[in-house]
Amino acid sequence: MNFALTSKITRVKVKNHKPRRKTVGITLPQNSIRRTQGNGSNISRIREQALLSILGYLETRNETESSKKDF
């Protein structure tokens, strides 16, 4: 007996759950850009990480100040 193995492939669309992004322009000193590129760093990633860090700090600070007002 000759049995042929068959497989069915089910294709499922996977939604991309990454946050939507917006292109923005920033102005930086040329020296900073040269130094960053010289190190092989990615300016966009550095900017994003710095912004997220600052926003996290501000949100924590605002929550702390709000809790102090409740006393």
pLDDT digits (tens, 9 = 90+) for 13-35: 666 677 788 999 999 999 999 99
In a domain, residue 38? The reply is yes
Alpha-carbon distance of 24 to 54, in angstroms, equals 17
Q: Which domain, by its residues, includes 63?
A: 30-69
What pLDDT is recorded for position 65? 80
In a domain, residue 5? The reply is no
Give the length of the chain.
71
Residues 29-62: tens digit of each pLDDT: 999 999 999 999 999 999 999 999 999 999 999 8
Residue that wins the pLDDT comparison between 2 and 22: 22
In a domain, residue 43? The reply is yes
Residue that wins the pLDDT comparison between 22 and 65: 22
Residue 1 clears pLDDT 60, i.e. is over it: no
How many structural domains is the chain composed of? Answer: 1
Question: What stretches of the chain show up as alpha helix (H) in DSSP?
Answer: 30-38, 43-69
Tokens 């990633």, residue located: 45
- Are 10 and 17 in contact by the 8 Å Cβ rule? The answer is no
